[in-house]
Structure 1
Amino acid sequence: MQIIEVTGYAVRSAVLTMRRKGTPLEFVIFPMVHVASPTFYSQVRLRLRECDLIVLEGIRGKSAGVSALTLAYRFAPRRRRNGLQEQRNDLLLPEGIPVVNPDVTATEAMEDLKTLPRWMYILLIIGAPLMGLVFALRGPRAFLDQDHEIEDLPSTLRAEMLADSPLEHALTDRRDQRLLDSLGEIQAEHGDTPFRVAVVYGAGHVPAIVSGLWDRYGYRPREAEWLTVLVPG
């Protein structure tokens, strides 16, 4: 299943609607890219207005390590000519829609990362800001000339360091488990009523979300809508 499409012309994200036969509740999965065009975030915001509950990604609390990692996508929007914007809740979330955040704390996130070999941990902390600088200098083309899908971190870093590695598991396993447990609680509470749940998480988490909802609760993708994340300047 393709979640993010990267071509020579644009980057697009597939918003997935998952349903279960005989159950009125539905989950709408928004694969997010944490740096994108302002139009992408405004389009997501419009669709979130149609939902009854938003399940939102976001590591709670602060730590120096987490701040270093997020530099990978906080540099790019500072160059106005890139035409990009960092994902911000105040611009993304519509008023009046309840929001829950089942994500891990900064302390928990760093605990997971510190289980890695020391060389890998140091490389990540150093490499993420460097890739952010590359992205800031190159702008959208840093995405468009890649052959890989976009994830939470720049795709070159993920392709070289993270894919199917201990680091990938350290970054996502506990967070995905926490999210799926929360979705299970929502399913138990609202499964028999017409209820639309938005799951707003980075694209790198979406395969686990889709497989978890399918395997655990019998929800399957029924619709997909492509939203443009960015186009080259």
Structure 2
Amino acid sequence: MQIIEVTGYAVRSAVITMRRRGTPLEFVIFPMLHVASPTFYSQVRLRLRDCDLIVVEGIRGGSAGVSALTLAYRFAPRRRRNGLQEQRDDLVLPEGVPVINPDVTAAEAAADLRALPWWMYALLMVAAPVMGLVFALRGPRAFLDEDQEIEDLPSTLRAEMMADNPVEHAMTDRRDQRLLDALGAICSARHEEEIRVAVVYGAGHVPAIVSGLWNRHGYRPREAEWLTVLVPE
């Protein structure tokens, strides 16, 4: 299952609805990019109005290391000609829909990053602002040069691919576990309710979300809707 589609024309995100037979509770997963066109965020916000609960990503608190990493997507929106915006809650989250945030604290995220080998941590701190400058200078074209995709890989294959990737482990393992624990608690407490639970997380977390809901709770992807994230100038 393709989650993010990148072509020479546009970047698109697949909004995935997951259901379980005999259970009215359903999950709607919104794979997010932290820099996108304003239209993408408005389309997400419009669909979130139809949900009953929103589970949202967002590291709580502040940390120098985490702030340095976010430079990669905070630079791009500063050039108005790019037509891009940084993701913010006020752009995405509608009023009146309950929101929960099971994400980690900045201190926890920073501790996971500092556990990396020193040279790897240093490389991350240097690479992030460089990537941000590239995005700012090149605009949407920086996303469209290569035909790439994020797929919902089977959990065993995903585990094999991550086995030798300590950076991905450091940036996602604890956060994915917190999220899946929160979704499991929702399943246990509200599985008999006819509600739509939105999961608004970065696209890189979505394979773990899909495989976790599938393997732990028997939910399957049943519908998908493509939303355009951005297009070139």
After TM superposition, the score normalised by the length of structure 1 is 0.93
Aligned structure 1 segments of 4 or more residues deviating by more than 6 angstroms? none
Give the secondary structure class of the aligned counterpart of 2:120.
Answer: helix
Closer, same or farther: CA 81–105 of 1 in aligned 2, 3 Å: same
Partner of 1:221: 221
- Measured in 2, the distance between the counterparts of 1:207 and 1:85 equals 25
Partner of 1:156: none
1:125 aligns with 2:121: no
Give the secondary structure class of the aligned counterpart of 1:44.
Answer: helix
1:184 CA drift (Å): 0.4
Partner of 2:134: 134
1:26 aligns with 2:26: yes
- Measured in 1, the distance between the counterparts of 2:224 and 2:147 equals 22
1:108 aligns with 2:108: yes
- Measured in 1, the distance between the counterparts of 2:122 and 2:149 equals 25
After TM superposition, the score normalised by the length of structure 2 is 0.93
Which sections of structure 2, spanning at least 5 residues, go unmatched?
Answer: 152-161
Which sections of structure 1, spanning at least 5 residues, go unmatched?
Answer: 152-161
Q: CA RMSD in A?
A: 1.4
Give the secondary structure class of the aligned counterpart of 2:25.
Answer: strand
Question: Could you tell me whether the CA contact under 8 Å between 2:2 and 2:150 is conserved in 1?
Answer: no
Closer, same or farther: CA 109–23 of 1 in aligned 2, 3 Å: same
Question: Could you tell me whether the CA contact under 8 Å between 1:69 and 1:129 is conserved in 2?
Answer: yes
1:147 CA drift (Å): 2.9
Question: Could you tell me whether the CA contact under 8 Å between 1:33 and 1:150 is conserved in 2?
Answer: no
- Measured in 2, the distance between the counterparts of 1:167 and 1:91 equals 29
- Measured in 2, the distance between the counterparts of 1:212 and 1:31 equals 15
Question: What amino acid is aligned across from residue 129 of structure 2 in structure 1?
Answer: P
Question: What amino acid is aligned across from residue 95 of structure 1 in structure 2?
Answer: E
Q: For this pair of structures, how many residues does the alignment match? A: 223
Closer, same or farther: CA 133–150 of 1 in aligned 2, 3 Å: farther
- Measured in 1, the distance between the counterparts of 2:144 and 2:232 equals 8
Question: Could you tell me whether the CA contact under 8 Å between 1:143 and 1:150 is conserved in 2?
Answer: no
